[in-house]
Amino acid sequence: MVVIDLTENFAKIGEDVDFSGEYKLDDGLLPYPNAKLVRVKVHFHISYNKPNVKIEGVIGCVVQGYCDRCLEPINRQIDLPFCQIFYKDSSDEEDGYVYSESRLDATKAVCDEIVLSLPGSLLCKQDCKGLCPKCGTNLNQRQCDCDLSRENAFSVLKDLKF
């Protein structure tokens, strides 16, 4: 759980107070099959501006899994920007996050940010070439001799007359 004690923030209205921590969160947050969230590290700047609390910073996620293109095992650090406003519990904000008294539980906001901001695919490197669709060779390690030129299945449609 990412729980923040706001006592220091209440004493320094409008000033940034740093907050850092390392957490173990649910692997179910990940959109990648057979991957796990090894570690979540947060570094936030928290500012109390009566009655709201603004949190800005970075969520660092370490993800272990397999590359979506070449299936090689990877251990990847993904840094996600974070910026949220938390409203006092008596607020009528329906879509926002709330806090009560001097305790702010940012777990849901951090989890939501991870779910919404992680890249759509987990890659070993941005220019991963993947596997050959014929022989399965990892094209990052070597080229194969497979003939991948084939006629487009939709090429017969080019001769249709309307």
Which pLDDT score, from 0 to 100, does residue 92 have? 58
Is the pLDDT at 32 greater than 90? The verdict is no
Query: What secondary structure letter does DSSP report for 155?
Result: G
Is the pLDDT at 26 greater than 80? The verdict is no
Average pLDDT score, the chain: 88
Amino acid letter at 85?
I
Distance separating alpha carbons of residues 99 and 48, to the nearest angstrom: 12
Distance separating alpha carbons of residues 108 and 55, to the nearest angstrom: 14
Give ∠ CA 88-104-22 in degrees, rounded to 5.
Answer: 155
pLDDT classification of 77: cutoffs 50, 70, 90: very high
Amino acid letter at 138?
N
pTM above 0.75, yes or no: yes
Instruction: Give whichever of 93-102, 126-135, 151-160 has the largest mean pLDDT.
Output: 126-135
